[in-house]
Amino acid sequence: MQTRHRDKQLYFNEQVYTTEKYVIPFISKVLKISPELNILEIGCGEGGNLKPFLDLGCSITGIDLSESKINNAIKFFSNHPNTERAHFIAKDIYLAEDVLNTEFDLIIMRDVIEHIHNQELFMGYVKRFLKQGGVFFLAFPPWYNPFGGHQQVANSKILSKLPYFHLFPKNIYRFILKAGGETQEKIDGFLEIKDTGISIERFRKIVKQHGYRIITETMFFINPNYNIKFGLKPRKQISIFTAIPFFRNFVVTACYYLIKLKD
C-alpha cells in the first residue's frame, strides 16, 4: 500500500484509470465531456484525475497547496499533445482569485473535501469559480466507513488493514497509532483527518446551506478506487442500507455526487 503513495507515477496512473473508467461516465450522465469545457480540479495533486479530460481536448486547470506535487504535474504533462490546454497552480484556493480569473463548466474534487478544514466556509467560497449552469463533482469516503481515517496509508501492516479503529476517542486513537510504530508526522496527519472527516448527512446539509442542489448521487459498497488498487469490482451499496441515515456511513466506502447551484 505504501508503494503507491511513494511512487508518484504509479499513483498518477491509478487516478487516470479510475477517472477514465468511473468518474467520466458518472459525470457524462449530466454533462457531455467535450473540448469546449473548461475544467478546474481543486486539490489536484499530480493531476492524474485531469489527464482523461485533457485527452478528450478539454481545457484543464489544477490547483494544489503542494508545490512539489504541482511540479510533478507539470513534468507529467509536459509531453502531452494538448499540453498548451493544461495549467497547474501551486496556491491556496482562498488566495487564488487573481489566477483563477474565470468561471469553470466543471469543478472536480475526488477524495479531497474530507481533508478540508471548515467545509462550510469552503463550499460557500468556491461557488465563485463555478459557471452558471456548471457542474460540481465531488467524491469522498464517509468518515465512519471501515477506512474513513485513511489508515490504509499507515506504515504498520497491521494498522493499515485494521478497520474502524479511527472511530476511537482521540487519545485512544493516538495511543494505538504510537504503539503501532507510526511516526509523529503520520500521527499528526491521521489526527487531522479525524478533525476534518465528513459524513453523508453533514455533506448534504452543507450543500443545501450554500444554495446547491444535488443532481445525482451514488453510494458504493466497494469503492471504484479499489478496482485498480485491489482488483475488486466496484459495487453500489444496496438501497435499503443507503436509505438509513447515519448507519449508511458505516457501510458506504465512497460517495459520488454531482451538484450545481440552484437557478
CATH code of 81's domain: 3.40.50.150
Q: Inform me whether the pLDDT recorded for 3 exceeds 80.
A: no
Are 192 and 203 members of one domain? no
Q: Inform me whether the pLDDT recorded for 2 exceeds 50.
A: no
Are 128 and 220 members of one domain? yes
Tracing cell 484556493 back to the chain, one arrives at 93
State the average pLDDT over residues 184-210.
Answer: 97
Are 179 and 216 members of one domain? no
Reported as a single tens digit per residue, the pLDDT across 109-155 is 999 999 999 999 999 999 999 999 999 999 999 999 999 999 999 99
Largest alpha-carbon pair distance within the chain?
53
Reported as a single tens digit per residue, the pLDDT across 213-229 is 999 999 999 999 999 98
Are 59 and 170 members of one domain? no
E strand segments, the chain: 38-42, 59-64, 86-90, 104-110, 130-140, 212-222, 235-236, 254-261
Enclosing domain of residue 169: 151-196
Is residue 4 within 8 A of residue 46, CB to CB? The reply is: no
Is residue 37 within 8 A of residue 30, CB to CB? The reply is: no
Is residue 90 within 8 A of residue 61, CB to CB? The reply is: no
Are 75 and 168 members of one domain? no
Are 121 and 223 members of one domain? yes
Are 174 and 242 members of one domain? no
Are 50 and 167 members of one domain? no
How confident is the prediction for the chain on average, in pLDDT?
A: 96
Are 113 and 49 members of one domain? yes
Q: Inform me whether the pLDDT recorded for 7 exceeds 90.
A: no
Domain count, the chain: 2
Are 123 and 219 members of one domain? yes
Are 176 and 207 members of one domain? no
Q: Is 219 helix (H, G, I), strand (E, B) or coil?
A: strand
Q: Which of 160, 179, 196 is the last residue of a domain?
A: 196
Question: What DSSP character marks residue 58?
Answer: -
Q: Which long-range contacts (CB under 8 A, 24 or more apart) does 88-92 make?
A: 88/44, 88/47, 88/61, 88/62, 88/63, 88/64, 89/61, 89/62, 89/63, 89/64, 90/63, 90/64, 90/65, 90/66, 91/63, 91/65, 92/65
Reported as a single tens digit per residue, the pLDDT across 53-93 is 999 999 999 999 999 999 999 999 999 999 999 999 999 99
Whole-angstrom Cα distance, residue 220 to residue 222? 5
If phi over 0 gives left and psi between -120 and 50 gives alpha, with beta otherwise, what is residue 160?
Answer: alpha
Are 179 and 249 members of one domain? no
